[in-house]
Structures are given as structure tokens and as C-alpha cells.
């Protein structure tokens, strides 16, 4: 076989790379470690900052485009600016917290990683609670500092836009979250990390950019959830009936999208099912030998 015939996987097989073992579903020993609580705090603070900046951007956009207040489309950041705010904050916060908590900042991401046996049940639940609390506190700060604008312009809450049915909204959330979680899996793949370890921003950059692109596509449909904590925090603080009526969309859609992304990456792209089958076959062969 010539050098040109080597596959990408063959080319990097000599790298200092080892597939991490699956995390146990129940890992109670984590509760006795400070690193666990430090990670939970990091998720809380990161999600708080994420919601504070992004919801403030959304409300600022709506106030600047309000014709009754003398605003106009040219005076605002526009949908492009909102998308950059969400994507940019994810890039920054994942970069800051990846080494502490993994930089999830999203229950759907945590759920997908849990399904892939990359985090334990204890850690997954703790992260989700911290993320939802952080999101609520972040939106609460926005309401505290901008109470007049906050109530007038919808509080940044996710709702299904007029003209779209529930099926379209759920589908938009599933596909959008699939893009995000699929990017997370690909960007944090241990083989890719071993190969590209000289580029420390490689993982946060595509993750943030995926959030940016999904927002461009789905803001007109659902306001773009793809993050149940983001939708939950805004709904709790704004406390509007329409937001609560549509709220289930922003949990079901992201969790289904995350599950599909986890299955696709682990069992199709990484051939997890074939590896497990091969392992079982080899063990059976050894027993019969």
C-alpha cells in the first residue's frame, strides 16, 4: 500500500491518542470531590452570563426597531447581530469553561453526552439544574436592569411565531439541536483532539459557529431555543401564558435532536455498534477456543 492510499484514520493511528472508557451511569463518588462542585458552579455562572448578554441583545434589538419609539431596522443590530451574540457567547464561554466542566451550558448538550456515556447521571442532572438556575438568574438580571424594556418587548422568551404550526416548530428545534450537538461531538472527538492539539480554540469555534448558523435559520420560526435552559429561564422570569403554552416544544425538540445526534455520531460515524459487536464476537470465540 502506498502512502497516498492510506486513509485518514490510518494516517493518525500513531498519534498519542486513547479512546476514553465509558463513564459509569451511577458515579456517586463524584459527590465527594471538589472538582465536581467546581464544575457545577462553572455551568451555573456560564449559563447566567450567556442569558444575560443574549437576552439583553434581543431586547435591545426590539427596542431599536420599535417604530412607535422612533426606531428603525437600520438602527439595530438586526437578526445577524442577535445570531452573533448567541454564537459569540457560546464560543467565549465554552473556551473559558471547557477545562473545568466541559463547557456544556445547555441541557440538550448534557443529555446527548450522557446518552453517549461521556458523563454520569449524577453529573448530568446536576449540570441541568445548574444551567436552568443560571439561566433564570441571568434573565432576572436583565429584568432588574431593564425592567421597562423587558416587559414591553417580550422578555426574550421563546414562542412559536405566528403562521407556523407546532410540527414545524418542533422540527426546527430538533434539526437545530442536532446541528449543535453533532458539532459538539465532532469538535470534542478524542481522535480529533489528539490530531489538532496545537490549535486550542478549535473546539469552541465550530460549536459557537453552529449556534450562530442555527439562529440565522430558526429565529423567524421559534426565536431559536435549541437550549432548554435558555427557554426555561426566559419563561420563568417573563411568566407569560403564551410562552408557557409553547414551552414544551423547547424541551422535546432539543432532547430529541440531541439523542439523534448522539446515536448518529456514536453508532454510525464512530461505528460504536460494530465495535461492540466485534468485541462480543471475539469474547465468544475465546470461550469456544
Alpha carbons 58 and 223: distance in angstroms, whole number? 10
Examine residue 254 and state whether it is found in any structural domain, yes or no.
Answer: yes
pLDDT digits (tens, 9 = 90+) for 140-181: 999 999 888 998 888 999 999 999 999 999 999 999 999 999
In contact, 78 and 89? CB cutoff 8 Å: no
| Residue ranges of the chain whose pLDDT lies below 70 | 1-18, 67, 69-76, 192-201, 271-289
Examine residue 16 and state whether it is found in any structural domain, yes or no.
Answer: no
pLDDT digits (tens, 9 = 90+) for 174-210: 999 999 999 999 998 877 665 555 555 578 999 999 9
> What pLDDT does 28 receive?
79
Name, in order, each residue with C-beta under 8 angstroms of 38's C-beta and a sequence gap of 6 or more: 100, 101
Examine residue 176 and state whether it is found in any structural domain, yes or no.
Answer: yes
> What pLDDT does 81 receive?
92
Examine residue 289 and state whether it is found in any structural domain, yes or no.
Answer: no
Examine residue 257 and state whether it is found in any structural domain, yes or no.
Answer: yes
* Overall domain count for the chain: 1
Q: What is the CATH number of the domain that holds 38?
A: 1.20.1080.10
Residue-number span of the structural domain to which 139 is assigned: 29-273
pTM: 0.84
Examine residue 8 and state whether it is found in any structural domain, yes or no.
Answer: no
Examine residue 170 and state whether it is found in any structural domain, yes or no.
Answer: yes
> What pLDDT does 204 receive?
92
> What pLDDT does 202 receive?
76
Examine residue 155 and state whether it is found in any structural domain, yes or no.
Answer: yes
Amino acid at each position: 500500500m502506498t502512502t497516498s492510499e492510506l486513509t485518514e484514520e490510518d494516517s493518525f493511528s500513531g498519534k498519542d491518542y486513547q479512546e476514553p472508557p465509558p463513564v459509569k451511569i451511577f458515579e456517586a463518588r463524584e459527590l465527594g470531590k471538589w472538582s465536581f462542585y467546581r464544575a457545577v458552579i462553572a455551568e451555573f455562572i456560564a449559563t447566567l452570563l450567556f442569558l444575560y448578554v443574549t437576552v439583553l441583545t434581543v431586547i435591545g434589538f426590539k427596542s431599536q426597531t420599535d417604530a412607535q419609539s422612533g426606531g428603525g431596522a437600520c438602527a439595530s443590530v438586526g437578526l445577524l447581530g442577535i445570531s452573533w451574540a448567541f454564537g459569540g457567547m457560546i464560543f467565549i464561554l465554552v473556551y473559558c469553561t471547557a477545562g473545568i466542566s466541559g463547557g456544556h451550558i445547555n441541557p440538550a448538550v448534557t443529555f446527548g453526552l450522557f446518552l453517549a456515556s461521556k458523563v454520569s447521571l449524577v453529573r448530568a442532572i446536576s449540570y441541568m439544574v445548574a444551567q436552568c438556575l443560571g439561566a433564570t438568574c441571568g434573565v432576572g438580571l436583565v429584568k432588574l436592569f431593564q425592567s421597562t424594556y423587558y416587559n414591553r418587548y417580550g422578555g426574550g422568551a421563546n414562542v412559536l411565531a405566528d403562521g407556523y404550526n407546532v410540527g414545524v416548530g418542533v422540527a426546527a428545534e430538533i434539526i437545530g439541536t442536532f446541528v449543535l450537538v453533532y458539532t459538539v461531538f465532532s469538535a470534542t472527538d478524542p481522535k480529533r483532539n489528539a490530531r489538532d492539539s496545537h490549535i486550542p480554540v478549535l473546539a469552541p469555534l465550530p460549536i459557537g459557529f453552529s449556534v450562530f448558523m442555527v439562529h440565522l435559520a430558526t429565529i423567524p420560526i421559534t426565536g431559536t431555543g435549541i437550549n432548554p435552559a435558555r427557554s426555561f429561564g426566559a419563561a420563568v422570569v417573563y411568566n407569560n401564558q403564551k410562552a408557557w403554552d409553547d414551552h414544551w416544544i423547547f424541551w422535546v425538540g432539543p432532547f430529541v435532536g440531541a439523542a439523534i445526534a448522539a446515536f448518529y455520531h456514536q453508532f454510525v460515524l464512530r461505528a460504536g455498534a460494530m465495535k461492540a459487536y466485534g468485541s462480543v464476537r471475539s469474547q465468544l470465540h475465546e470461550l469456544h477456543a
